[in-house]
Amino acid sequence: MKSIVILISGRGSNMESIVHAAIPGARIAAVVSNRPDAQGLEFAAARGIPAVVVDHKAFSGREAFDAALAEAIDGFSPDLVVLAGFMRILGDGFVLRYAGRLLNIHPSLLPAFPGLDTHRRALEAGVRVHGATVHFVTPTLDCGPVVIQAVVPVFADDDEATLAARVLAEEHRIYPQAVRWFVDDRLATGAGGRVRLLDETPCDGAWICPPLEAAGPVQG
């Protein structure tokens, strides 16, 4: 049985998706938030999951907060720490402490659009597809090894809200899958730091957006 601690800052919808997945061999040991008013804490407590607050405002700086957060996490002896809408940048020391067992989900197809405002930037760039990425966390922001990605189309009438909703639905699918693979010991790091899924079934298909149309007479 692998122990998992999930970090949130708000509602924690990705946390909810992982809890609802009821992954065999996994136990959600705790949900930890840097905000005492995070809605996700109520969700966790209602399901008997320890809900812990480490309020970042109570600390003089990042190092002190990171140390207190790590102490709270380590009290549950986790095999995996999952960032699920945790809106604090973590210092290098914290990240290295959990190297190889710290996952994050980012609302873009990394390495495209790291950082904030991903949906606005995708729309401004005019991309045809957008998506979400689950990756291991490294000291360089949003640059860790990719575990799984989901792709969604970008429609001409999309705004940030509609695109964000389409991406979030896929986040709720791929994050529990990534956690399941970790729990099942199916994730291996290969050459160049790339993540390899053991026993992966190759896929030679492609998704083209907009879709190709049936060939017709050449106009000229």
Helix and strand numbers (H, E) in the chain are: 6, 9
| Pairwise CA distance, residues 135 & 112, whole Å | 13
User: Dmax of the chain from CA atoms?
Assistant: 72
Q: Which of 167, 105, 158, 114 is nearest to 133 (CA)?
A: 105
Is 106 tagged catalytic? yes
Contacts of 30 (CB under 8 A, 6+ apart): 5, 6, 44, 49, 50, 51, 52, 72, 73, 76
List 56, 106, 130, 172, catalytic entry: 106
DSSP 3-state assignment of 124? helix
The neighbouring-strand residues paired with 59 are none
| Cα–chain center distance at 184 | 18
Active site (catalytic) residues:
106
